[in-house]
Chains A and B, each alone.
Chain A
């Protein structure tokens, strides 16, 4: 039985407090009127004095342009703390979902190596409920016009935009919220049922429970792949409302899976290092390492497939998505490829390296950072555009959500024995070696 150490507890609470303070500060710090932004832009321009003198020409049109520009920047800066919070909230929620998907996959595939890791996966999946609530509240606040994360939610914009008007049958607020509720309730229900059966099996092996979990897992995977695809259209792709891509759902899925497997590996290594999980050996770590590397390459494959097809045909209505990212986010845009593919592949290609804990941790941190930036590059350009930074709002919201995540996960890990007591494949898993 695991008990949450006071160190982890205070560490996560410190993260939450620091994050909350930073986030409150960034909400207060966001400009509250267009005038404030104008002032800000003015002082910025003053520092490039020579330029602004040279540009004094047609006053009237320039002023009108400056007003428009200021308003544009104002909306972006107002969105900033919201988008900064939305990225990690969504990312960590989807990680816990991904962990549960991996768990269901292991059940459905009747994997012989993983049952000793099931409780770790169940623990991480427990973040589904608080994470889901946070994401849902953020979506609800967007629908109530507290922010402009989703441009199609603004009736004024839709009134002048024929492209969005043609999409309102799908993209309208009530339907959006109902869909989100269906996905989340479905995922949480499946996870509660499957985990409940797994806990019940601790009292004694029951073939009926085993079979029920097998069927539930298979059913969940079908439900998941449909809802995941729609979720990625709703929560991420609809931010860039004019743009669409058919493999987007898969691309998001790859990012979720690779971060989920990495999170499982990191938590496992932490618990193993603390002396729990006596049945986990370095072959289990090796297997997780293989999944990390495989899914990294899968991510890169989809990233490149999406990019290549759009770059190659260069159709204006599709290519603006990448044009904007290449112009405003060049370092992050290509940085994600290095962090999510090049480095993990080169580090994890060696079979011996995949058995060494610190190398897995090192690669894991790179992968998690890279996938956070992947979500950042998917969400930020459509919400804050060129006004992005990685400053107080972004870092503090990561700390806040990460603190919550760690607190929930380790609290849940303490609720049940860290190794399942009965599973059809438990013995095989204990003696797994590769």
Chain B
């Protein structure tokens, strides 16, 4: 782990993207970029792998479907198969249309909520969490790029950042 990091501030997302591309071209790795809003294409420019959140959501949906099916099969068919208004409770399949609204809702419920919770856990977000903000201006109108440096490459990286339009460059001790 490098002991020092460079903080480069940008005023515009287009300039930020240029700097990201320039650094990636020279094979310097960027630790983190802080933006006030989503910058379209930034993840691709930084080479961040695609999210797998959608896949987890699909699997959670299947769990929800299974839970709904198991629950209603146990309650309505196995445990106490009553005749309610002449609906056939002999097997799950025979009474299935009546269960579909619940199966659908449970699928959506599980898929949505568990995916959101997964998102919170993966991005380490919860109430009373201490904000990790290197510079308060990044939530308003500035973009900040954080790059780990050591003594041999600090000058070179700072020059690339400067050439590509960074408005401030600071060398900071890494905590």
Residues of chain A touching chain B, judged by Cβ–Cβ distance below 8 Å, are 304, 307-308, 311-312, 314, 349, 351
Contacts and interface: CB of A to CB of B under 8 A. Distances in A.
A314 B86 contact: yes
B54, B97, B98, B101 interface centre (most CB from chain A within 10 Å): B97
A224 B118 CA distance: 45
A308 B58 contact: no
A349 B58 contact: yes
Given A349-B58, A351-B54, A312 B98 contact: yes
Contacts of B97: 304, 307-308, 311-312
Contacts of A349: 58
13 contacts: A304-B97, A304-B100, A307-B97, A308-B97, A308-B98, A308-B100, A308-B101, A311-B97, A312-B97, A312-B98, A314-B86, A349-B58, A351-B54
A304 B100 CA distance: 9
Interface string B106-136: 0000000000000000000000000000000
Nearest to B55: A350
A304 B97 CA distance: 8
B64 to A, nearest CB: 15
A307 B100 CA distance: 12
Interface in B60-103: 86, 97-98, 100-101
A351 B100 CA distance: 26
A266 to B, nearest CB: 27
Contacts of A308: 97-98, 100-101
B104 to A, nearest CB: 9
A350 to B, nearest CB: 9
Interface residues of B, number: 7
Contacts of B86: 314
A323 to B, nearest CB: 14
B47 to A, nearest CB: 18
A308 B97 CA distance: 6
B45 to A, nearest CB: 15
A143 B161 CA distance: 80
Contacts of B58: 349
Nearest to A307: B97
A417 to B, nearest CB: 32
A412 B134 CA distance: 62
Contacts of A351: 54
Contacts of A304: 97, 100
A66 to B, nearest CB: 34
Contacts of B98: 308, 312
Contacts of A312: 97-98
A308 B58 CA distance: 26
Contacts of A307: 97
Contacts of B100: 304, 308
A432 to B, nearest CB: 14
A314 B87 CA distance: 10
Given A308-B97, A308-B98, A314-B86, 10 more contacts: A304-B97, A304-B100, A307-B97, A308-B100, A308-B101, A311-B97, A312-B97, A312-B98, A349-B58, A351-B54
Q: Which 3 residue pairs spanning A and B have beta carbons closest together? A: A308-B97, A311-B97, A312-B98
Nearest to A310: B97
Nearest to B86: A314
Nearest to B54: A351
Contacts of B101: 308
A306 to B, nearest CB: 11
Nearest to A352: B50
A351 B58 CA distance: 13
Nearest to A349: B58
A314 B58 CA distance: 35
B101 to A, nearest CB: 8
Contacts of B54: 351
A297 to B, nearest CB: 11
A311 to B, nearest CB: 5
A333 to B, nearest CB: 13
Interface string B22-33: 000000000000
A351 B97 CA distance: 30
Contacts of A311: 97
Nearest to A304: B100
A312 B99 CA distance: 11
A296 to B, nearest CB: 15
A349 B58 CA distance: 9
B91 to A, nearest CB: 15
